[in-house]
Amino acid sequence: MVIKKGFPVAPAVAFGAADAGVEIHQLSKWFAVDENRVQALDRVSLTVQDGEFLTLLGPSGCGKSTLLRMLAGLDVPDEGDVAVYGARVERPSLSRGIVFQDHRLLPWLTVRENIALSLHKSGLSQQEQNARVSELIALVGLMGFDKAKPYQLSGGMSQRAAIARALAPRPRILLLDEPLGALDSLTRTRLQNELIRLWEAERITVVMVTHDVEEAVYLSSRVVVMESRPGRIQSIIDIDLPRPRKRTDVRLVTLREQILASLE
């Protein structure tokens, strides 16, 4: 558990190296608010290792979601670069799965059709696609809900389906934008454990945005604490505790208190 304060320095290796999961280099972003230009992110640099579970944590307005959207390719940086597995991010890609806070399942499609839609570039035959979708429905625990429409699902079930849709094309990285933020606490706790299980089963890199400190320390291998106006990295906290973790583990509780104190 090492707490590094201050700005992380630029990566020593060449930018765009394929062995690093995510490289963010001196990234800045401004938004136009009325007549003014407001800086959302100020020269953020960060490297995410392959296979890491990394959380971006911070108060609203710290630019954590904006940062994630730039990893997804939904927003473009004004300055700086973003590369994922050696490829510069220029537009959204199925190789970077994303789950939003609102599940964004298409209401006119069934659960199965929603998930299958992300396989249209997979090159799989129709049969293989069906098999892959069934596999994912089982993976996220939605057996028997293939033919359900999103409006017939609870919030937690919808989010499971959204996760399945993001995972279907076998992305190397999963981007989660407050995926559990709209759920009740029981469902949220259950889905946190599911996320860990999926991350371990699929062996993928996860970058998750959250404002829930307990969620961040419980799930992550590293927590990036951000501060706002302008959005910057305040500190990066390694959480090298063994898994499975216990929420009541005194080391987790201490870390949570430390982070909460640093956010005040």
Cα 255 from Cα 262, distance rounded (Å) = 11
Please enumerate in sequence order all residues whose Cβ is within 8 A of that of 126, keeping only pairs 6 or more positions apart, or say none.
none
Residue that the structure tokens 């017939």 belong to? 152
115 or 225: CB nearest other proteins: 115
Site residues for other proteins, 131-170, by CB under 8 A, read 149-151
Site residues for other proteins, 79-108, by CB under 8 A, read 91-94, 98, 100, 102, 104, 106-108
C-alpha distances (whole Å) from 77 to each of 63, 170, 217 are 12, 26, 28
Cα 167 from Cα 136, distance rounded (Å) = 8
Please enumerate in sequence order all residues whose Cβ is within 8 A of that of 114, keeping only pairs 6 or more positions apart, or say none.
105, 106, 150, 161, 165
Please state the closest distance from residue 116 (CB atom) to other proteins, in A: 11
Site residues for other proteins, 176-235, by CB under 8 A, read none
Please enumerate in sequence order all residues whose Cβ is within 8 A of that of 69, keeping only pairs 6 or more positions apart, or say none.
75, 177
Please state the closest distance from residue 161 (CB atom) to other proteins, in A: 13
175 or 216: CB nearest other proteins: 175
72 binds other proteins (CB under 8 A): yes
Which listed range, 1-9, 68-76, 131-139, 233-241, lies at the site for other proteins (CB under 8 A)? 68-76
Cα 180 from Cα 162, distance rounded (Å) = 11
Pick the binder of other proteins from 47, 65, 118, 158 (CB under 8 A). Answer: 118
Cα 32 from Cα 136, distance rounded (Å) = 40
Provide the residue count of the chain.
Answer: 264
Please state the closest distance from residue 165 (CB atom) to other proteins, in A: 8
37 or 121: CB nearest other proteins: 121
DSSP string over 76-126: --SEEEEEETTEE--S--TTEEEE-SS----TTS-HHHHHHGGGTTS---H
Pick the binder of other proteins from 11, 31, 81, 117 (CB under 8 A). Answer: 117
Please state the closest distance from residue 98 (CB atom) to other proteins, in A: 6
Number of residues that bind other proteins (CB under 8 A): 22
Please state the closest distance from residue 141 (CB atom) to other proteins, in A: 22
43 or 149: CB nearest other proteins: 149
Please state the closest distance from residue 99 (CB atom) to other proteins, in A: 10
Please state the closest distance from residue 135 (CB atom) to other proteins, in A: 19
Please enumerate in sequence order all residues whose Cβ is within 8 A of that of 79, keeping only pairs 6 or more positions apart, or say none.
26, 27, 28, 29, 43
Please state the closest distance from residue 166 (CB atom) to other proteins, in A: 8
End-to-end CA distance of the chain: 21
- Note the residues at the interface with other proteins (CB under 8 A): 72-74, 91-94, 98, 100, 102, 104, 106-109, 117-118, 120-121, 149-151
